Structure 1
């Protein structure tokens, strides 16, 4: 199971290995000058490629955050997002996820920039594949 598959599974969006592979191979928009993922814009209006149902990612994460004793800022931090989902958030794990999502090589050596890119990339991949994610988390 790939790293992104773990995220999907924790959110009830597990689409099976072949569908996850399709999602990952769809690629990410090129990085803009401010290290955010360029071309974010609103979530697609077409039917999601991999998810059979829409999952309200925000509601699910807010519910998990309310039940968690630790104050986790999942809306901006990939580390906190992974912790909230009870997934390994170590630098090694994040680099594995970044590699899987095809993070630009120049960001891989700067953990802060990689983390910012990674959070946006995860949110965009979730939105593109059936996750209901607010626009402010996508750009």
Structure 2
């Protein structure tokens, strides 16, 4: 089983949404964690927009990256530039991948809820492509359908 860590600054939205999608698409073939360099708590709008797409992240907690230094990860994915800058100091031989997503709720000219939905949709696409391309090519990717 592969282990994936998703890092963001606050572990409050982007990394939480990525954890939800990656775990859904990988199903039981991966353990997915998320953490932040300065955790702020999971944002209610992140929980809301994920629920709109059938993914429940209401049980997620916002954790500091130090909590996971002893876990041998296969992949460490940074989803914001600040986390990427601090990621080289994360003690892991994991493959490091960076994909910066906009900070939801902080996009000029876009209302907060729309911003969260747009970022959620970008993260969903990235997550599905990541699971398909990295190591599950021969196995079907869970499409996220909730039964």
TM-score (norm 2): 0.25
Structure with the higher fraction of residues in strand conformation: 2
TM-score (norm 1): 0.26
